[in-house]
Chains A and B, each alone.
Chain A
Amino acid sequence: MGNFKLTSVEEFEAATNRLLETGAKVGADAWQFRVKNQTPHCKFGEQGVCCRICSMGPCRITPKAPRGICGCDVHGIVGRNFLRFTAGGSATHSDHGREICHTLHTVAPDGNYKVKDPDKLIRIAKEWGVETEGKNIYDLAHEIAEMALLEYGKPFGTQRFLKRAPEHTQELWAKAEIEPRAIDREVATALHMTHMGCSSKPEALIRQSLRCGLSDGWGGSMCGTEFSDVMFGTPKPLDTEANLGVMKEDYVNIIVHGHDPSLSEMICDYAEDPEMIALAKSVGAKGINVAGVCCTSNEVAMRRGIPMAGNFLQQENVVLTGACEAIVVDVQCIFPALGPLSKCFHTKFITTSPIAQMPDSEFIRFNAETAGENAKLIVRTAVENFKNRKPELVHIPQLKQKATVGYSVEAIVKTLDKVTNSQVDVTGTTKPLIECITSGVLRGAVAMVGCNNPRVRPDSAHIDLMKKLIANDIIVVLSGCSAQAAARAGLMDKEARELCGAGLKRVCELADIPPVLHMGSCVDISRMMILASELAKDSGLNISQLPLVGCAPEWMSEKAVSIGNYVVATGIDTFLGVEPQVTGSSEVVGLLTDGIRDWVEAAYTVEKDIDKLGDLMIQRIEEKRAALGI
């Protein structure tokens, strides 16, 4: 047991406050101040009743003005806004997945990118009906990459990966007419439907929201995850560390931030390059230390054990340490504030993607063909910047925790194999987990995902909920910034099993796992969909019958909404701690929290009181158990 202790949210905040003092010295702005400037928010926007999709508007709905100029009522406006929100998120993940497919198309035995998990590639090829026998693995990779890219724009049919779902789920999708066709098409259809004078019927808009979400979860995100595994290796359990204390004062600190592992993997490679290390030593550093922020951090932590400096609302803190030589970003969830902020320090803010260009940044264009030289230049730029550090501004909060990460579905099944009995059981299934659940040892599982949001005390909802769930013998799987909150708090340390109820504690001891399992980045929520499908198939139950719920307590982005939509549409009840901007329409709220249950056997629950949100999840899990008589 030793001296294990969680790091509290108060300690997180104390560290942040100390960093803001440094910020004050150099005149830095911070999200904490910008939130104040934006408060109170516009109520019309908050409720989703403001429409600006044509130039007759902007229109807003009030009791005196119940319709927009075109005659659209509040339900149509809210529904359209919600669908556009979803389309934004779906486009984001899917474009990330597309980049990965393009990168897969460049793999070569002597190239920047290689096939690291040929078995997984062959498995996918077989699933897609591609002949693999006697084929060169790189030829196969190129063939699969092309097929995957066609998933984005094929004229006919539906997504190939849908076949991975249990038959019952596939039937529901077909019946509800929400099977995603081409990935891009669903985004385009969404934008079409929401144009002035198209759909204003909430039911149609919400149906498309689900379909657009599914094209992400079972299309774009799944491509992103699966082919990242093929190129960079399928994650296996490994140990790492988390929180700002992973930055090292005497080292060149390179922070990778963003989402696409094509960039971060390459940066990590070059940070280990002897030439670069020698260069670092020549400028007076002990070496090069790469740490991550946000989902790119999750990617390299899962596969390489690269430490995790922080999640979404920590990104400015990384620079405020004064010890960040470069913050290298690609796409998504990158504060444009990092530009001006980096100017207050010696930090180089390096943007790399034409998709995400920002003022006050150094743009080093990164692409798959020239990845090696791009990455080397980025690392060199960071190393050479070490000498510009202002020692009087350096302060790294000494907070960090141990974390065991790397729980891909493959790794989870392998872990479960360890608790089977060779005299009785088969291996390679999720059955041991199902047995723990049906016997009551574990009450159920929660997939906790999502962002930080200043509307919620950062990380507090994630951490409080996890503590409550594990104490109630509910196992938690995590991704994204939720996972990082857990890691920073210490919940991914195996010793955190002491905080569990007797059932989960015993499971952790026997399987040698932490009580919360890091399943990766936000596109890796597709892993959770596969896990849910496997559990359903192995148990003979429908996904919606499993005592399993999803939760995004501090969600913020459009991506989170797209995720929520595909999780719900997969049959998993989803709990939100932040209200979506739909409260202006009783019909849309009615559909999302109840009506869609008729189509997909699951719906949303929104509760801003986080403690109550936890109770509601536990209650839903127990209801599902009662319905099964377990």
Chain B
Amino acid sequence: MTLFDVVFSGNDTVYGLTESAISDAIAKYGADKAVAFPDTAYSLPCYYAVTGTKVGNLGELKEALGVVKTLMTREQKLNDAFMSGVATALCAEFIEVLKYIDGAVPYEAPCYGHLGDPVIRELGVPLVTGDIPGVAVILGAAPTAEEGVALVKSYQAQGILVTLVGGIIDQCEAQGYKTGANVRVIPLGKDVTSVVHAVSVAIRAALIFGNIQPGDAAGLMEYTMKRVPAFVNAFAPLDAVIVACGAGAIALGFPVITNEETFKVPKSLIVQKDVSKFNATSLEARDIKIKITNIDIPVAFASAFEGEIIRRG
């Protein structure tokens, strides 16, 4: 199978799931039922940024899915793969928003799920000033919990904002590793679709700080490519859905580094078998240059730890 065929099949899978999830929701609640993420002025931020259209209820969400379908062209070209990647992200966003119907609280500690606008505004300034030199999206489970945590820690020590999706969250918990927005390690969720909450951050950064007009998809992708220093670390095994999400990330300009032997694309899809080198490989791929002055102290030292709360005991 070609790389693009894998992307297309992952996209088809997610689209199928989204379609039935929306139909089920409409059957249960009716088409007028409101859908929204908490604490955001951008409706469904990804869909809004790409199309310029806000979605208020399930009926509109179904219509929006029709729009998403138009992105799912099937020529063997990068543009089609990119658009299928974007379509996959949008489907993920739809699946995620359904979890929030009726003010439900679908995510519980340590997972955050959707991040509200205030969090993004708070992170945005250090992101622009370079105080946060990058955003890592870690997806799946590392070969061992120790390696996973070591990777997270390495980014954290460089001031990089880390978001976690899937097995890596359990690995951090198992190792007793502290996570949370205050220490800039944010577990999003354990389903792969929750990765869209990281995408949502990048996209809202473009809308809030980049003054990108909703609907200007090309401008959006250019902004994220040039200005949002994000990258993805996806652990093996990669299924088609993850690859399709990866295509979305690459479309936004974010390289994907994986330890699975797969197709390679320079600066975009990089196979690094050695997880201990994920950090250096990722930073180089995203052209993130960090000058570290090593202070020889027995604890980690970085701005990421500024919000840390020391509990008694």
Same assembly: yes
Q: Nearest chain-B residue to A507 (Cβ)?
A: B266
Q: How many Å lie between the Cα of A421 and that of B257 in the bound state?
A: 11
Contact: B272 with A506, CB < 8 Å? no
Q: How many Å lie between the Cα of A622 and that of B265 in the bound state?
A: 19
Among B27-35, B62-70, B153-161, B277-285, which stretch is in contact with chain A?
B277-285
Contact: B280 with A423, CB < 8 Å? yes
Among B17-25, B76-84, B99-107, B289-297, which stretch is in contact with chain A?
B76-84
Q: Is B270 an interface residue (CB 8 A)?
A: yes
Q: Is A23 an interface residue (CB 8 A)?
A: no
How many Å from the CB of A512 to the closest CB on chain B?
A: 11
Among A252-260, A435-443, A450-458, A570-578, which stretch is in contact with chain B?
A435-443
How many Å from the CB of A545 to the closest CB on chain B?
A: 16
How many Å from the CB of A436 to the closest CB on chain B?
A: 6
Q: Which residues of A contact B284 (CB under 8 A)?
A: 421-423
Q: Which residues of B contact A22 (CB under 8 A)?
A: none
Contact: B265 with A443, CB < 8 Å? no
Interface centre among B2, B281, B284 (most CB of A within 10 A): B2
Q: Nearest chain-A residue to B281 (Cβ)?
A: A423
Q: Which residues of B contact A630 (CB under 8 A)?
A: 2
Interface centre among B82, B268, B269, B272 (most CB of A within 10 A): B268
Contact: B277 with A423, CB < 8 Å? yes
Contact: A435 with B272, CB < 8 Å? no
Interface centre among A419, A420, A503 (most CB of B within 10 A): A503
Contact: B78 with A440, CB < 8 Å? yes
Contact: B2 with A440, CB < 8 Å? yes
Within 8 A of B (CB), among A58-103: none
Q: Nearest chain-B residue to A510 (Cβ)?
A: B267
Q: How many Å lie between the Cα of A227 and that of B4 in the bound state?
A: 43
Q: Which residues of A contact B79 (CB under 8 A)?
A: 501-503
Contact: B77 with A424, CB < 8 Å? no
Q: Among B2, B78, B264, which residue has its beta carbon within 8 angstroms of that of A435? A: B264
Interface size bucket, A side?
20 to 34
Q: Which residues of B contact A506 (CB under 8 A)?
A: 78, 268
Q: Is A473 an interface residue (CB 8 A)?
A: yes
Q: Which residues of A contact B270 (CB under 8 A)?
A: 421, 424
Given contacts A421-B284, A439-B269, contact A473 B77 (CB under 8 A): yes
Contact: A424 with B281, CB < 8 Å? yes
Q: Is B3 an interface residue (CB 8 A)?
A: yes
Interface size bucket, B side?
20 to 34
Given contacts A424-B270, A424-B271, A630-B2, contact A440 B277 (CB under 8 A): no
Q: Which residues of A contact B76 (CB under 8 A)?
A: 440, 443, 622, 625
Q: How many Å lie between the Cα of A439 and that of B81 in the bound state?
A: 11
Contact: A421 with B77, CB < 8 Å? no
Q: Among B225, B264, B272, B281, which residue has its beta carbon within 8 angstroms of that of A439? A: B264
Q: Which residues of A contact B263 (CB under 8 A)?
A: 435, 438-440
Q: Nearest chain-A residue to B7 (Cβ)?
A: A440
Q: Is A550 an interface residue (CB 8 A)?
A: no
Over the window 394-431 of chain A, the binary record of Cβ atoms lying under 8 Å from chain B Cβ atoms (1 yes, 0 no) is: 00000000000000000000001001111111000000
Q: Is A432 an interface residue (CB 8 A)?
A: yes
Q: Which residues of A contact B81 (CB under 8 A)?
A: 440
Given contacts A435-B265, A510-B267, contact A473 B78 (CB under 8 A): yes
Contact: B77 with A420, CB < 8 Å? no
Q: Is A629 an interface residue (CB 8 A)?
A: yes
Q: How many Å lie between the Cα of A439 and that of B78 in the bound state?
A: 9
Q: Among B77, B82, B277, which residue has its beta carbon within 8 angstroms of that of A443? A: B77
Contact: A419 with B272, CB < 8 Å? no
Q: Nearest chain-B residue to A504 (Cβ)?
A: B78
Q: How many Å lie between the Cα of A463 and that of B228 in the bound state?
A: 36
Given contacts A436-B266, A439-B265, contact A423 B272 (CB under 8 A): yes
Q: Nearest chain-B residue to A422 (Cβ)?
A: B284
Contact: B281 with A440, CB < 8 Å? no
Contact: B82 with A502, CB < 8 Å? yes
Over the window 273-313 of chain B, the binary record of Cβ atoms lying under 8 Å from chain A Cβ atoms (1 yes, 0 no) is: 00001001100110000000000000000000000000000
Q: Which residues of A contact B2 (CB under 8 A)?
A: 440, 629-630
Q: Nearest chain-B residue to A419 (Cβ)?
A: B266
Q: How many Å lie between the Cα of A622 and that of B285 in the bound state?
A: 30
How many Å from the CB of B254 to the closest CB on chain A?
A: 12
Q: Which residues of B contact A473 (CB under 8 A)?
A: 77-78
Contact: A436 with B265, CB < 8 Å? yes
Q: How many Å lie between the Cα of A441 and that of B77 in the bound state?
A: 7
Given contacts A423-B280, A439-B3, A501-B77, contact A510 B272 (CB under 8 A): no
Q: Nearest chain-A residue to B284 (Cβ)?
A: A421
Q: Which residues of A contact B281 (CB under 8 A)?
A: 421, 423-424
Q: Among B77, B269, B272, B285, which residue has its beta carbon within 8 angstroms of that of A503? A: B77
Over the window 239-276 of chain B, the binary record of Cβ atoms lying under 8 Å from chain A Cβ atoms (1 yes, 0 no) is: 00000000000000000000000011111111110000
Write 8 A-B pairs (CB below 8 A) sorted by A numbering.
Answer: A421-B266, A423-B280, A424-B270, A436-B265, A438-B264, A443-B77, A502-B82, A510-B268
Which residues of B does A touch, CB under 8 Å? 2-4, 76-79, 81-82, 225, 263-272, 277, 280-281, 284-285
Top 3 A-B pairs, shortest CB-CB distance:
A503-B78, A502-B79, A419-B266
Which residues of A does B touch, CB under 8 Å? 416, 419-425, 432, 435-436, 438-441, 443, 472-473, 501-503, 506, 509-510, 622, 625, 629-630
Given A421-B270, A424-B272, A424-B277, 16 other A-B contacts at CB below 8 A?
A: A423-B272, A423-B281, A423-B284, A424-B270, A432-B266, A435-B263, A438-B264, A439-B269, A440-B4, A440-B77, A472-B77, A473-B78, A501-B77, A502-B79, A503-B78, A510-B268
